[in-house]
Structure 1
Amino acid sequence: MLETVLWISAHYASLFRAFEIFSVAVFTIEYILRVWSCTVDPRFREPIRGRLRFMVTPLAVIDLLAFLPFYLPFVLPDTRVLRVVRLFRLFRVMKLARYSESVDLFIDVLKLKKDELLLVFVSIMILLLVSSTLMYEVEHDAQPDKFSSIPAAMWWGLVTLATVGYGDMFPITPAGKLIGSMVVMLGIGLFALPAGIIASGFSEVLQRRRECREIICPHCGRPIKEEMIYR
């Protein structure tokens, strides 16, 4: 990220390069060790097929993409391809998810509420399509350069539903202003739904974790429910 600042890159290019090599070496060794030791897990116990299955798991793919861009310039001389490949270095940030309990909690929430979130997403897409089509019909004749097509009007619909309003596209006809006002009010309520759903999911997941948490008795080795400790 800091390499994109010209004066920083000019003064500390060698330091960035050394840090890059060190990071790639650590990630490469970590990946090799994970692939080698994955057979300890019963799911990947087979020496060859088990390792291949492990290599296509999401976390293993993220680990691979974290260091793969460093080696590709040696086999891909095309600079245009390399510019795209360098974007894969952003996957190094995703490696932090492996060590973060908060990220695991958030993933559990998304899994729990995936149906509700999908319903909201579909509702937003339907409203976006309907509002953009209506706006195209009423504004195309007045602003053919702005609302030239329904896909072009969808940009207006998106920024209006999200209540961003960049100001590059806006209705000027009375019917367009009426539709725009209704879309803004619907967008405020519709985009607030995911926040409430996710908040409810956090509450449910945390409650389940409290109920399932067990503490082992140091004397007999049996599990003790957490609520029994405070009695």
Structure 2
Amino acid sequence: MVELNNSKRSKFFALFIQLLILISIIIFSIETIPDLNPHTRKVLHYIDLFIVIIFTIEYILRIYLARHKLRFVFSLLGLIDLLAILPFYISIGVDLRALRALRFLSIFRIFKLIRYNRAIHHFVRAIRSAKEEILLFIFVTLILIFFSAVGIYYFEHEAQPEYFSSVFESLWWAVITLTTVGYGDVYPVTVGGRVFTFFILMIGLGIIAIPTAIISSALTKSMDRKVEK
């Protein structure tokens, strides 16, 4: 029942867990509201406790039913299941103000949706099938970011030493320019820097398109394999 298949019980359990995941994320968000009513916070705590108990039972069942228990525990999905419940138990009896970073790990519950959503399964398979192309893209992108930082440093260092004091300081400009975000907090003022920025922006537009094409192609192949089956 805990594994996603075509049986009614499995589908119901999957929908139930997905609903609990969404509720837990909503609770996590509500708890960040300042000056929240103590009664409301207490009710949210009990709802979260119920959800954690269900997730804990599910986690134990998965370990019990797994053929290779250690392999499951240290797998990606196993670690996500553990991180979904661990912050709650760590925070018991401890001042939550000192454990806000650990409470943030509760957001990992949203990744549990990967297990129960078939559409996400296709996306994960697509990422896996295109992982070599994606890794190559990331490697090339990192090289371009470093090249951009070096280039703008030499063009703008003398004109704006407060913003481009080193290649490392220039990395911020390189990232926001190559991703075409352009916050406007750091920008070139020299002619050479502006011309260099123009070419970097053109490259940035291509960088955005490449991963989209890679993932779209992989998703298409994944869906085609599903149709063939």
Give TM-score, length-normalised by structure 2: 0.82
Q: Deviations over 1:58-104 (max 9, x none)?
A: 11111111111111134877954x22211210111111111000111
Could you tell me how far apart the structure 1 residues matched to 2:178 and 2:91 are? 43
Q: Deviations over 1:14-47 (max 9, x none)?
A: 2211111111111111111221222xxxxx2xxx
Determine what percentage of the aligned residue pairs are the same residue: 37
What letter matches 1:105 in structure 2? Answer: H
Could you tell me how far apart the structure 2 residues matched to 1:102 and 1:146 are? 45
Out of 75, 99, 117, the residue aligned to residue 57 of structure 1 is 75
Could you tell me how far apart the structure 2 residues matched to 1:127 and 1:74 are? 47
Out of 179, 185, 190, the residue aligned to residue 162 of structure 1 is 179
1:29 is the counterpart of 2:52? no
Q: Deviations over 1:168-209 (max 9, x none)?
A: 100001110111011001110122111111111111111122
Q: Deviations over 1:97-131 (max 9, x none)?
A: 11000111001111111122222212211111111
Could you tell me how far apart the structure 1 residues matched to 2:30 and 2:168 are? 36
Alignment of 1:76-225 (within 5 A): 80=98, 82-211=99-228, 213=229
Answer whether contact 1:2 1:9 (CA < 8 A) is retained.
no
Could you tell me how far apart the structure 2 residues matched to 1:52 and 1:167 are? 50
Structure exhibiting the larger radius of gyration computed from Cα positions: 1
3-state secondary structure, aligned to 1:167: coil
- Structure 1 residues 12 and 74: alpha-carbon distance in aligned structure 2, compared to 1, 3 A threshold: closer
Could you tell me how far apart the structure 1 residues matched to 2:188 and 2:93 are? 52
What letter matches 1:2 in structure 2? Answer: I
What letter matches 1:4 in structure 2? Answer: T
What corresponds to 2:6 in structure 1? Answer: none
Answer whether contact 1:146 1:152 (CA < 8 A) is retained.
yes
Count of residues in Structure 1 that have an aligned counterpart in Structure 2: 201
- Structure 1 residues 103 and 78: alpha-carbon distance in aligned structure 2, compared to 1, 3 A threshold: closer
Query: Does 1 or 2 have the higher relative contact order (CA < 8 Å, sep 6+)?
Result: 2
Structure 2 unaligned residues grouped into runs of 5+: 1-28
Out of 6, 22, 30, the residue aligned to residue 2 of structure 1 is 30
Answer whether contact 1:133 1:153 (CA < 8 A) is retained.
yes
1:68 is the counterpart of 2:86? yes
Could you tell me how far apart the structure 2 residues matched to 1:65 and 1:73 are? 13
Structure 1 unaligned residues grouped into runs of 5+: 39-43, 45-49, 214-231
